[in-house]
Amino acid sequence: MKKLIYGLGTIFLLFLITGCEKEPDNDSPDKKISYIKSIPGGCNGQDFSDLKGAVEDEADTVIFTLQNDTLDVFVGINYICCAPFLSEATITNDSILMIVTDTCPDPYSSCYCRCICYYTWDFLFTDLENKEYFFKIILNDPREDNPIVFKQGTLILE
């Protein structure tokens, strides 16, 4: 009888051991920051048909907010009204590149209104680690020969 109990106990323990899974390690070197999306706001997508002029009321802005496991990089840029934009982000190792591109096909004869507007984007990221990240925000303006580095620096997450 004792052999039967020991045998069943051993089988039960083996079953428990093989059924257990290791918890994911949040500090593993394979974990990488992920870009979720960017959310346009401010003057993005507005109808300017009745607008005669606008006043620049906001300062160009970059605000970092970390809530739960999501990093929100808020970018606010004063730029000529009626501009069409695309935004994207890429991540390479510990570097985050956020790109805002004015997609006006002919910036010298179409697209723009005669005023300045405040355009905003919320760039959302997840899967962060407590370490330093280098960031750069670039504005591609078709009226300029080269991309404009809007802001760059180091973000330290602790």
The residue-averaged pLDDT of 130-141 equals: 95
Phi-psi region of 44 (alpha: psi -120 to 50; beta: other; left: phi over 0): beta
Q: Is 68 among the domain residues?
A: yes
pLDDT of residue 50: 55
Q: Is 123 among the domain residues?
A: yes
3-state secondary structure of 119: strand
Q: Is 11 among the domain residues?
A: no
Four-residue CA torsion sign, 46, 77, 58, 125: positive
Q: How confident is the model at residue 21 (pLDDT cuts 50, 70, 90)?
A: very low
Q: Is 4 among the domain residues?
A: no
pLDDT of residue 10: 46
Give the range of the structural domain holding residue 98, as residue numbers without chain letter.
31-156
Number of domains forming the structure of the chain: 1
The residue-averaged pLDDT of 132-154 equals: 96
Two tokens at 117? 């507007």
Q: How confident is the model at residue 6 (pLDDT cuts 50, 70, 90)?
A: very low
pLDDT of residue 110: 79
How far is Cα 32 from Cα 95, in angstroms, rounded to an integer? 11
Whole-model pTM: value is 0.74
CA distances to 10, 55, 85, 113, 148 from 52, rounded to whole Å, are 83, 11, 21, 9, 28
Match 């593993």 to its residue by tokens. Answer: 28
Which of 26-30, 87-91, 93-97, 117-121 has the least mean pLDDT? Answer: 26-30
